[in-house]
Amino acid sequence: MTTQDTRVEQVPPTALIARYILTFQVACGVVGTALAAYLLIGSGLATAFLLLLLASVAFVVLSWLLVARWPSRRRVVRWGAVGVEVAVCGLALAAAGSGGGGGPLAWSVLPVAAVVLLLTPSAGRWFDR
C-alpha cells in the first residue's frame, strides 16, 4: 500500500472573510425576506412591497448559490460575488441619494469590504485554480 502526498491548499484569509461577509448577508437577507413577506401580507398585497419581496428573494437566492459554490474555486463565482456586492452598493447609494439618510450608507460598508477583499491578488490566485 502506498501513501500519496496530498496537499490541501488553505483558503487565503481574504477569500475566507469575503465568504463570511456573503454568508452574513444571506442570513440578513433571509430575515429581510421574511419581514417583507409579513409586510406584504399585512398591507393587503401592495405592489411596492411585492417588488421589494421579489428583489429580496432574488438577492438571497443568488448570494446563497454563490456561497454554496465557493469551494469550486471557479472564476465565475468570484466575479459573480463581486457583481452582487457592487449591485448592493449601488442600491445603498441610490437609497441614500433619495433621502434615505446615513442608514443605507452604513449598509454599504460590508459589500465594499467584500469587493476589496475579492479583488486582492491572493483571492484572485485562489479562485483561478
**80-113 confidence digits (pLDDT tens):** 989 988 988 887 777 666 665 566 666 778 888 9
Whether 46 maps to a domain, the answer reads: yes
Per-residue pLDDT at 45 exceeds 90: no
Domain membership flag for residue 26:
yes
Q: Nearest to residue 95, comparing CAs of 110, 105, 85, 82?
A: 105
Helix axes 13-42, 47-68, angle to 10 degrees: 150
> Could you identify the residue written with the cell 428583489?
55
Number of structural domains (the chain) is 1
Cβ–Cβ < 8 Å for 74, 44:
no
Q: Is residue 64 part of a domain?
A: yes
Q: Look at residues 110, 116, 105 and name the one whose alpha carbon lies nearest to residue 26.
A: 110
CA dist 110 → 42, 51, 103, 105 (Å) = 31, 24, 13, 10
Domain assignment of residue 44, yes or no: yes
- Give the pLDDT band of residue 48 (cuts 50, 70, 90): low
Residue 88, in any domain of the structure: yes
Which of the 8 DSSP states describes residue 9?
Answer: P
Confirm whether 57 is domain-assigned: yes
Note whether residue 5 is domain-resident. Answer: no
Least confident of 12-21, 37-46, 87-96: 37-46
CA 14 to chain centre: 15
Please give the model's pTM, rounded to 2 decimal places.
0.79
Mean pLDDT over all residues of the chain? Answer: 81
User: Does 4 reside within a domain?
Assistant: no
Q: What's the domain range around 27? A: 13-127
**3 falls in which pLDDT band (50, 70, 90)?**
low
